[in-house]
């Protein structure tokens, strides 16, 4: 018991030591901002998580920021999940449990890249895992004891699951299999039924937070929680699509099957080949194990299938960029925890086989080697820890996402409105804004995607009385800009479409675009503002910082921060090339290529730069490099322009032949 307590305590210490003290990316900024403003984050609103976050914000731990305190929910929930995994193993095998191997299993899980990562960043998934495993463990206890309190606890945790994250429901079929026989045997008096319903109701209580929060008019809200229709829309995620992860998924059956291959690759990458083989062996041993009852086997295999292959096939996340890869990996955390059971059985089988081998070789003297055999198994989690430590410890002092928020806020002057959307720019800026509100009192953040929602407009009018919103009926961004352009400087993360009759236009200013009168035409001032931004930006050295990490950011949400700055460098270069100042563009093109080498538009800009300085050969090389990867019409157009760069007819003819080749390939691809 002492060794177990020490194990769990050591894991918690490891997580707290490597804990991030800022927002990591993804949803983190939205979650922490909602907690800071006493609002609620994106659907399903996560009322349980938000309430716990409010409590954790009050912890008197001075060295932790708001994000760091909220992250403690992830760390503590993950350690609780390890305790539950051990208890589940006890329920399955009883006194015959191999404690050293059980500890090795837990340690292996604790330093698994995915589990470790989400134990040290602000996220909702670790708490979801703890609730889900708690339901499964309680079902095993109810099956084995018949104690009605365990059934009540199942209902209580189901209530909590409803108030937190919808994916817990995949455990319910397994729970039904485990509990159905015991339920049939139980006599349910009126008093017992009331007790069970009361347990469920207590679990559902956090839902009350949503309408209470809404009626207090916080700045971060995601829906009309004060109406039944709006309340249901939030809980069922209607804005995303209630039964899909988002509007971006593909419905191709082949693509869905490919996701199963991807899942297999994820397991190998995160557990290593040794762990993967141990899991496969464990699944076979588990299937054949006589010590485990049939109900338990079926429920466990069903849970594994539903959280793993079924969810992967159904959700069908497209994995064409690092941001989406980071988005989908979070959903596999509960699946990885469930894999701890076959991992334990696989390692136990290997352990027993090794013991048998030593008995054959050394007879009764095999016990001398027993400590060394155990140490060999402990080397597995130690090796995994060494492998993942460097990838994760860098997040301890990670501040790139936070600096992105600062850079967006610092670009703008006082009396400014900042129009934002997309998770990376919006959520990270939100966190910096609300965690340092006193610094930005004269600036207003606007979530563009909500500007057509009456509840959001009402919230803006209450929280920012200086904002003018004349009529909320059929309101849109154009109306909002018209209402406020005379009273505020307006900035946007993108060049939002403006009516043709509008007397203003967007000009580029670092990470943002500023709205100015159409007749504004001062290139020198624009250049001065752009250069001032890049010289003083918090993330001005982001490319050198990225290179120093030797790609340790791969598959992380922070990669999307790199994309934001890469695009900003591209926009800067595009502007300089447009006003015929190529000498100012080159450094920004190089920065964009470093930050996101997969974005071929940087090669296009590089080609334009070289053609501007009459280096036709390098201009041709750059655009052909882009065309070899993607037959984009813009790139073919740039190739056509190079026929004007070359002066000799031989080179012009060669360019025409190359254009014809790429054009034919593009046409063939279009037809197919």
Q: What is the pLDDT of residues 525-540, one digit of tens each?
A: 999 999 999 999 999 9
pLDDT digits (tens, 9 = 90+) for 555-594: 567 788 889 999 999 999 999 999 999 999 999 999 999 9
Tell me, what's the pLDDT at 594? 92
Q: For residues 528 and 290, what is the distance between their CA atoms, to the nearest angstrom?
A: 76
Rounded to the nearest 5 degrees, what angle is found at the Cα of 609, between the Cα atoms of 633 and 649? 70
Q: What is the pTM of this model?
A: 0.91
Q: How confident is the model at residue 661 (pLDDT cuts 50, 70, 90)?
A: confident
- For residue 508, list its beta bridge partners: 513
pLDDT in tens, 204-245: 999 999 999 999 999 999 999 999 999 999 998 887 765 555
What's the rounded mean pLDDT across residues 663-671? 53
Residue ranges per domain, the chain? Answer: 2-244+262-393, 401-599
**Phi/psi of residue 191, each to 5°?**
-65, -40
User: With 50 as the cut, is the pLDDT of residue 426 above it?
Assistant: yes
- What's the CA gap between 486 and 582, in Å, rounded? 35
**Residue 356, token pair as written in the block:** 């048998």
Mean pLDDT of 654-668: 74
| Other residues' Cβ atoms within 10 Å of the Cβ of residue 213 | 23
CA distances from 68 to 120, 128, 220, 315, 471 (A): 9, 19, 20, 31, 41
End-to-end Cα spacing for the chain: 65
Query: Within 10 A of 515 (CB to CB), how many other CB atoms are there?
Result: 23
Give the model's confidence band at 554: pLDDT under 50 very low, under 70 low, under 90 confident, else very high.
low
Looking up tokens 């086997």 gives 297
Walk across the sheet containing 443-447 and list its strands.
443-447, 416-420, 489-492, 512-517, 504-509
Distance between CA atoms of residues 467 and 487, nearest Å: 8
Q: What angle do CA 317, 174, 231 make, to 5 degrees?
A: 60
The model's pLDDT over 462-497, given as tens digits with 9 standing for 90+, comes to: 999 999 998 878 888 988 999 999 999 999 999 887
Torsion over CA: 312, 313, 317, 320 (sign): positive
CA gap 597, 66 in Å, rounded: 34
By percentage, how much of the chain surpasses pLDDT 90? 69
Is the bond into 579 cis (omega within 30 degrees of 0)? no
Helices (H), 491-557: 523-536, 542-548
Q: What is the pLDDT of residue 138?
A: 98
For 332-401, give the secondary structure using H, E and C. Answer: HHHHHHHCHHHHHHHHHHHHHHHHHHHHHHHHHHHHHHHHHHHHHHHHHHHHHHHHHHHHHHHHHHCCHH
């Amino acid at each position: 018991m002492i060794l177990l307590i020490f194990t769990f305590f050591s894991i918690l210490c490891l997580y707290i030591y490597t804990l991030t003290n800022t927002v990591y990316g993804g949803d983190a900024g939205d979650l922490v901002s909602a907690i800071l403003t006493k609002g609620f984050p994106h659907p399903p609103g996560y009322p349980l998580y938000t309430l716990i976050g409010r409590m954790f914000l009050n912890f008197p731990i001075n060295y932790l920021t708001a994000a760091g305190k909220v992250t403690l929910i992830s760390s503590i929930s993950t350690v609780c999940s390890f305790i539950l995994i051990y208890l589940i193993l006890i329920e399955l095998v009883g006194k015959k449990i191999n404690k050293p191997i059980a500890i090795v299993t837990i340690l292996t899980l604790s330093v698994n890249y995915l589990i470790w990562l989400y134990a040290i960043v602000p996220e909702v998934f670790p708490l979801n895992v703890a609730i889900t495993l708690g339901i499964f463990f309680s079902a095993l206890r109810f099956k084995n004891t018949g104690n009605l309190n365990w059934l009540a606890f199942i209902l209580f945790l189901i209530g909590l699951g409803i108030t937190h994250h919808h994916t817990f429901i995949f455990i319910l079929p397994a729970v039904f299999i485990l509990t159905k026989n015991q339920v049939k045997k139980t006599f349910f008096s009126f008093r017992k039924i009331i007790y069970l319903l009361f347990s469920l109701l207590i679990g559902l209580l956090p839902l009350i937070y949503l309408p209470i929060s809404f009626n207090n008019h916080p700045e971060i809200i995601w829906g009309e929680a004060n109406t039944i229709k709006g309340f249901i829309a939030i809980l069922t995620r209607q804005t995303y699509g209630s039964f899909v992860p988002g509007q971006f998924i593909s419905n191709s059956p082949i693509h869905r099957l490919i996701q199963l291959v991807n899942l297999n690759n994820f397991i190998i990458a995160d557990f290593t080949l040794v762990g993967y083989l141990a899991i496969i062996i464990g699944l076979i041993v588990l299937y054949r194990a006589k010590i485990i009852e049939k109900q338990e086997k079926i429920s466990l295999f069903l849970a594994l299938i539903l959280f793993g292959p079924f969810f992967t096939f159904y959700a069908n996340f497209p994995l064409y960029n690092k941001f989406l890869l980071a988005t989908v990996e979070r959903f596999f955390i509960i699946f990885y925890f469930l894999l701890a059971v076959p991992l334990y059985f696989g390692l136990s089988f290997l352990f027993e086989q090794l013991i048998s081998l030593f008995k054959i070789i050394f007879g009764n003297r095999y016990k001398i080697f027993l400590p060394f055999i155990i140490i060999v198994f402990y080397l597995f989690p130690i090796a995994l820890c060494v492998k993942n430590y460097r990838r994760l410890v860098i997040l301890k002092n990670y501040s790139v996402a936070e600096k992105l928020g600062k850079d967006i806020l610092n670009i703008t002057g006082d009396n400014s409105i900042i129009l934002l959307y997309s998770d990376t720019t919006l959520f990270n800026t939100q966190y910096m804004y609300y965690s340092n509100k006193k610094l930005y009192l004269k600036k207003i953040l606007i979530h563009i995607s909500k500007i057509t929602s009456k509840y959001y407009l009402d919230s803006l009018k209450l929280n920012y009385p200086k904002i003018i919103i004349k009529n909320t009926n059929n309101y849109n961004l154009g109306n909002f800009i018209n209402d406020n352009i005379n009273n505020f400087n307006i900035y946007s993360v993108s060049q939002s479409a403006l009516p043709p009759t509008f007397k203003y236009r967007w000009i580029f200013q670092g990470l943002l675009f500023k709205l100015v009168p159409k007749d504004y035409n001062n290139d020198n001032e624009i250049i001065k503002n752009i250069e001032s931004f890049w010289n003083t930006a918090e993330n001005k050295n982001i490319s050198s910082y990225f290179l120093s990490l030797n790609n340790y950011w791969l598959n992380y949400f922070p990669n999307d921060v790199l994309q934001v700055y890469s695009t900003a460098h591209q926009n800067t270069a595009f502007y300089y090339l447009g006003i015929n100042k190529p000498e100012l563009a080159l450094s920004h093109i190089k920065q964009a290529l470093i930050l996101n080498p997969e974005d071929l538009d940087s090669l296009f800009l590089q080609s334009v730069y070289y053609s501007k300085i009459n280096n036709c050969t390098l201009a041709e090389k750059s655009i052909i490099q882009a065309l070899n990867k993607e037959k984009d019409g813009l790139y073919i157009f740039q190739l056509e322009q190079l026929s004007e760069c070359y002066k000799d007819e031989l080179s012009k003819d060669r360019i025409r032949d190359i254009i014809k080749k790429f054009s034919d390939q593009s046409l063939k691809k279009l037809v197919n």
